[in-house]
Amino acid sequence: MLIKKAADIPAREITEQKVYLNRRTFLRAGVLAASTVATAGVYRAMTRSAAPSAAPQARIEGVKVADKSLEAQGFWTAEAKTPREKIIGYNNFYEFSTDKYDVAELAQKFDTRGWTIEVNGLCAKPKTFDLDDLAKVAPIEERVYRMRCVEAWSIVVPWDGIPLRKLLESVEPVSEARFVAFQTLYDPKRMPNQNSNVLQWPYVEGLRMDEAMHPLTLLATGLYGGKLPPQDGAPVRLVVPWKYGFKGIKSITKITLSATMPTTTWNIDAPNEYGFYANVNPKVDHPRWSQATELRLGEARRPTLPFNGYAEQVAGMYAGMDLKVNF
């Protein structure tokens, strides 16, 4: 990314944190991988047992509920929410500008009328969704998530959205689907910085199927109880809270189920710096700066947590993988 200086980040010792191995999730993943009859139905049953209480609503009749069980599941955090002005005034959205303070103004007139998201690939019922269709897929839930940019700044955002899993289940993935690829709109007239070659366009991202089906993975349509502002990825963006922020692809127009690992924008741009998995890991420094700490916007610098504080919910998906690297 363009922020190259982080020399001021003190190299600090982080207590060795034993990665929490969720053995049951691991075993289920093994069964799934071994299964030759894994249908969408089988996948559904397995992922459901990973999340005993199906995503309760964090907002009930306009009242925000600070429920411990939501916090335990990772759906909510008691940490101070970053003020809305900061969230919508400091953005990475290279289709508009590489200057975080300029994105908001340059994206203000971004026209999202008639928006559709095509969901295709390895599924029984491919479909192009407009925003009304999307609203019918599942009720909107509020999630208060930490977001940690790979550049070592972070925010806490009250998102509104639907679990990605609900959308994927609605198109009935077939057993060969192992990955999900995402694409941002490509339209240089509406996204003027796509006339530059600062990145390869359109911006693309991807998740492994189990990551995409994880209860924490959100398709966000709003924040702070209102519509998603253009600078934050209107009308629909991805939020994967345990991964670096660049996985959270904005203004999505296409989602494709595939058998092979999709290419991703930042990996194409700098393969030695950004990998496919990109799980937040304070012990693996970026080649050009430390990842041990982060600047919480409007607050003090603080230690970065493994999996951005969501290890208990997600570490089991990476059992047996070398977590010393992000690739």
Interface stretch with ligand MTE, choices 37-45, 119-127, 133-141, 242-250 (CB under 6 A): 242-250
Interface stretch with ligand MTE, choices 33-41, 85-93, 119-127, 298-306 (CB under 6 A): 85-93
Number of residues that bind ligand MTE (CB under 6 A): 16
Binding ligand MTE (rule: CB under 6 A), the pick from 206, 222, 230, 245 is: 245
Please state the closest distance from residue 107 (CB atom) to Mo ion, in A.
16
Q: Work out whether the CA dihedral 55, 166, 312, 78 comes out positive or negative.
A: negative
294 binds ligand MTE (CB under 6 A): no
Binding ligand MTE (rule: CB under 6 A), the pick from 22, 25, 91, 290 is: 91
Interface stretch with ligand MTE, choices 86-94, 278-286, 305-313, 316-324 (CB under 6 A): 86-94
95 binds ligand MTE (CB under 6 A): yes
For 164-225, strand residue ranges (E) read: 179-184, 204-208, 218-223
Binding ligand MTE (rule: CB under 6 A), the pick from 25, 82, 184, 279 is: 184
User: How far apart, in whole angstroms, are the C-alpha atoms of residue 244 and residue 188?
Assistant: 26
Write out the binding residues for ligand MTE, residues 126-155 only, by CB under 6 A: 149
Cβ within 8 Å of residue 275, ≥6 positions away:
267, 325, 326, 327
Residues comprising the chain, all counted: 327
| Cβ atoms of 179 and 161 closer than 8 Å | no
- Tokens 């950004």 correspond to what residue? 274
- How far CA 228 is from CA of 136, 158, 224, 322, in Å, comes to 18, 11, 9, 36
Find the residue with minimal CB distance to Mo ion.
149
